[in-house]
């Protein structure tokens, strides 16, 4: 019996010693983390003092305030030889480095600034919003046709001596239900206010749709990115391509911030202004997204499909749309900006859809022997955007962050 009591005492002492050792180990780990955070804060404060000495804010601090996915992309692009100066920064920093930046004021990107300055009222998502803007057709003068689609034609219009674009919905169509849905989808962006999105100004009353529905938009012109890419005389240098990419991604980030997925992004739906800027238009396939989920509600699924060559594989499989579907389309558009070729041109639609979904087929690499660091990084970015798993794609705002950093060092 004395032996059992002695053994119990030994076990109790061993357990106590283990707890003490475990506590000491945790204390040492905590001390190391504290020292790491203090060291990181010293480094960041030194960077801030450099910024105050007229060093570019974006080039110094933007990298330490981006998401882990952006860090990963930038690190890959550094390995390609692009933006070598990033090697001196903690791109793949420890968790202590990342946590230490959370207490610092965030540096707003161009997209963040636009989202902050171009706020919209919450009433955008009220069900009766589609009937809240009405127009009198007699106040407008129709001019020449600017373009035509399956559900309507766009005309040059004059309103109080100012040019506007007027989309007149066809009175007769093979799919009237889809036409009405497309009309309502255009009104998702009625109050959008972004320099790279075509503004929707007004519309006829939804109750009078059968009498001839109109949508009034700002007049941008008749040139679009598809026409520009098809024009062999147009020169698209790296700086111009990067500018277009930033503007398109910024428009998507703004739409996603306000819970709308475009779902038909392609060069033909990106207008080019007279001062050579992009404006994303034609939200006729867009859908509202469930708040804070990034997924369209199953009860709000659309019968509109968009263009198959730019459509994400999960949508081709019939899955619910997310914002990442737009990122896939953006990746195809980036490829087209570089190649200036139409994706899957002259190929059977059903064969392409099967190959994209089942075999992961994507548009071909037009320059496999490329060695330029910028081009290698560019290829890697659009490949990340069109990867099969939506969770592996960056968000539109993350793409804007990456491209803006590229812009500083191109």
Binding region for ATP: 167
Of residues 183, 219, 194, the one with CA closest to residue 120? 194
Contact call for residues 17 and 73 (beta carbons, < 8 A): no
How far is it, in rounded angstroms, from Cα 209 to Cα 168? Answer: 11
Contact call for residues 248 and 270 (beta carbons, < 8 A): yes
Backbone angles phi, psi at 162, to 5 degrees: -120, 145
Please give the angle made by the CA atoms of 187, 188 and 193, to the nearest 5 degrees: 95
**CA 65 vs CA 46, 62, 125, 350, 398: distances in Å:** 16, 5, 32, 44, 11
**Catalytic-labelled residue, pool 97, 117, 264, 292:** 264
Tokens of 119: 């706020």
Per DSSP, what are the bridge partners of residue 155? 145, 166
**Beta strands at 140-148 and 152-159: parallel, antiparallel or unpaired:** antiparallel
Q: Is 264 a known active-site residue? A: yes
> Catalytic residue positions?
264
């Amino acid at each position: 019996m004395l032996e059992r009591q002695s053994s119990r005492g030994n076990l109790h002492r061993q357990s106590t010693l283990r707890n003490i050792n475990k506590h000491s180990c945790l204390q040492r780990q905590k001390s190391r983390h504290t020292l790491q955070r203090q060291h990181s804060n010293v480094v960041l404060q030194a960077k801030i003092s450099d910024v105050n000495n007229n060093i570019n804010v974006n080039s110094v601090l933007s990298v330490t305030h981006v998401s882990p996915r952006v860090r990963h992309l930038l690190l890959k692009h550094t390995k390609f030889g692009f933006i070598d100066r990033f090697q001196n920064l903690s791109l793949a920093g420890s968790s202590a480095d990342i946590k230490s930046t959370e207490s610092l004021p965030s540096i707003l990107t161009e997209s963040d600034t636009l989202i902050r300055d171009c706020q919209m009222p919450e009433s955008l998502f009220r069900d009766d919003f589609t009937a809240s803007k009405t127009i009198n057709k007699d106040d407008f003068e129709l001019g020449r046709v600017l373009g035509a689609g399956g559900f309507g034609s766009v005309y040059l219009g004059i309103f109080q001596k100012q040019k506007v674009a007027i989309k007149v919905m066809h009175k007769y169509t093979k799919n009237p239900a889809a036409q009405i849905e497309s009309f309502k989808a255009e009104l998702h962006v009625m109050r959008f206010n972004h320099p790279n999105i075509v503004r929707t100004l007004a519309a006829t009353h939804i109750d009078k749709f059968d009498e001839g529905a109109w949508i009034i938009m700002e007049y941008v012109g008749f040139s679009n990115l598809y026409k520009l890419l098809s024009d062999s005389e147009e020169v698209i240098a790296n700086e111009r391509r990067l500018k277009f990419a930033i503007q398109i991604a910024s428009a998507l980030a703004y739409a996603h911030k306000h819970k709308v997925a475009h779902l038909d992004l392609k060069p033909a739906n990106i207008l080019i202004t007279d001062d050579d800027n992009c404006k994303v238009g034609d939200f006729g396939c867009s859908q509202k997204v469930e708040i804070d989920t990034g997924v369209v509600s199953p009860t709000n699924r659309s019968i509109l499909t968009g263009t198959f060559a730019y459509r994400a594989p999960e949508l081709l499989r019939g899955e619910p749309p997310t914002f990442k579907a737009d990122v896939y389309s953006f990746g195809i558009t980036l490829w087209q900006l570089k190649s200036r070729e139409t994706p899957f041109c002259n190929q059977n639609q059903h064969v392409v859809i099967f190959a994209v979904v089942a075999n992961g087929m994507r548009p071909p690499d037009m320059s496999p022997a490329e060695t330029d660091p910028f081009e290698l990084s560019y290829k890697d970015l659009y490949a990340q955007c069109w990867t099969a798993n939506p969770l592996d794609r960056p968000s539109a705002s993350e793409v804007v962050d990456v491209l803006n950093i590229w812009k500083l060092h191109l």
